[in-house]
Structure 1
Amino acid sequence: MRRVAVAFVASTSILVAGPALAQAPQVEKNVSMTMAMAIMQGALDQCTRDGYKVSVVIVDKGGNVAASVRGDGTGPHTMDFARMKAYTARTRNQTSLATMKQMEDPAFAFLRQIPNVVGVGGGVPLKAGNEVIGGVGVSGAPGGEKDEVCANAGIAKVADALK
């Protein structure tokens, strides 16, 4: 009988503590609007210096659009493509260029079936320390490698805040 009582008390304390712990708010790092604006401006500045007209999209930790800007003179597809690049970088936790290279391997063919994941350069994960908190996507330069340079230039503008 004593074992049953001990087991009952132990299980009751777990049941009581469980709901209390579940009510605690989750605290996580994410992209702020100020950070997103600085990244977009840095990316636009770099691409403008290089002579490219681009659009830039920032996605947050959940892969949702946090901010976007369509650069002057860009094609209508650049906004959506920049979003997909940013989403790819966030969800894959690597550059979209690295995802492109993975897609060349038949073992990673499944990546082509994931909605909004693209295999082309221009998407870079946004990391606070080692934690991925979002993604940056740039589209419009002649080649994904050039888009990626601009995305990295934008991230460099907020590098101190990401440490």
Structure 2
Amino acid sequence: MTPKLLFSSFVSVALLSSLPAPAQAELPSIKILSAQAALTIGQAAYDACVQQGYHVSVTVVGGEGQVVLGLRGDGSSPHTLENSQRKAYTARTFRVSSGEFAQRVKDNPTSGQAHLAGVIAIQGGLPIKLGDAVIGAVGVSGAPGGEKDEACAKAGIDKAVDQLK
């Protein structure tokens, strides 16, 4: 290696090593909904409705709206699995219950949000929170009325409260 090339390499290394590290060099930490918590929530929501004689489907979605658990219950109507998924996706997307979203749409019918793919303005979906962070959502469909679907969804979240810390 020639002295000129050696000196040039030394200067390059010295300059690079003296640059400050980027402020955002660390990866962000995110909270996720575990598969075990999703199973607990989904099973408890399903059980709560079955105990009342309702034939329902339950979907639990994760933080990015992806399906973590889908359960089409015995005797539930064909559309209930899709509706439960859309309710969960809506609750996750807007960070509020799908019933609250339905009220927003009713109050502002010209809002285009109700026409987004995968969204539905029907009660029965609840966000799953870890502190203030929404890490997923659960949707229930098939009980006689959205308020009953939502009560089952809440029972599911309540059952997993110890897993959501």
TM-score band (shorter)?
A: 0.7 to 0.9
Q: Is 1:84–1:116's contact at 8 Å kept on the other side of the alignment?
A: yes
Alignment of 1:69-88 (within 5 A): 69-88=71-90
For normalisation by structure 1, the TM-score amounts to: 0.85
The CA deviation at 1:136 is 0.2
1:39 aligned to which of 15, 38, 41: 41
- Name whichever structure is richer in helix by fraction: 1
Aligned to 2:7: none
2:122 aligned to which of 120, 123, 145: 120
The CA deviation at 1:55 is 0.6
Structure 1 segments of 4+ aligned residues over 3 angstroms from their partners: none
The CA deviation at 1:77 is 0.9
The CA deviation at 1:112 is 1.6
Q: Which amino acid aligns with 2:127?
A: P
Q: Is 1:102–1:108's contact at 8 Å kept on the other side of the alignment?
A: no
Q: Which amino acid aligns with 2:21?
A: A
Q: Which amino acid aligns with 2:95?
A: N
For normalisation by structure 2, the TM-score amounts to: 0.84
Q: Is 2:59–2:88's contact at 8 Å kept on the other side of the alignment?
A: yes
> Kindly, what percent of the aligned residue pairs are identical?
44
Deviations 1:16-56 (A, max 9, x none): 523x844x333211111111111111101110111101110
Count of paired positions: 149
Q: Which amino acid aligns with 2:88?
A: A
3-state SS in 2 of match to 1:97: helix
RMSD: 1.8
3-state SS in 2 of match to 1:104: helix
3-state SS in 2 of match to 1:85: helix
State the alpha-carbon separation in 1 of the partners of residues 75 and 94 from structure 2.
30
Deviations 1:133-159 (A, max 9, x none): 000000111111110000000001111
Larger Rg: 2
Alignment of 1:68-147 (within 5 A): 68-106=70-108, 109-147=111-149
Q: Is 2:58–2:84's contact at 8 Å kept on the other side of the alignment?
A: yes
Q: Which amino acid aligns with 1:162?
A: L
Q: Which amino acid aligns with 1:17?
A: A
Structure 2, unmatched stretches of 5+, are 1-14
Structure 1, unmatched stretches of 5+, are 1-8
3-state SS in 1 of match to 2:111: helix
State the alpha-carbon separation in 2 of the partners of residues 25 and 134 from structure 1.
21
Q: Is 1:122–1:145's contact at 8 Å kept on the other side of the alignment?
A: yes
Aligned to 1:52: 54
Q: Is 1:96–1:123's contact at 8 Å kept on the other side of the alignment?
A: yes
State the alpha-carbon separation in 2 of the partners of residues 76 and 63 from structure 1.
22
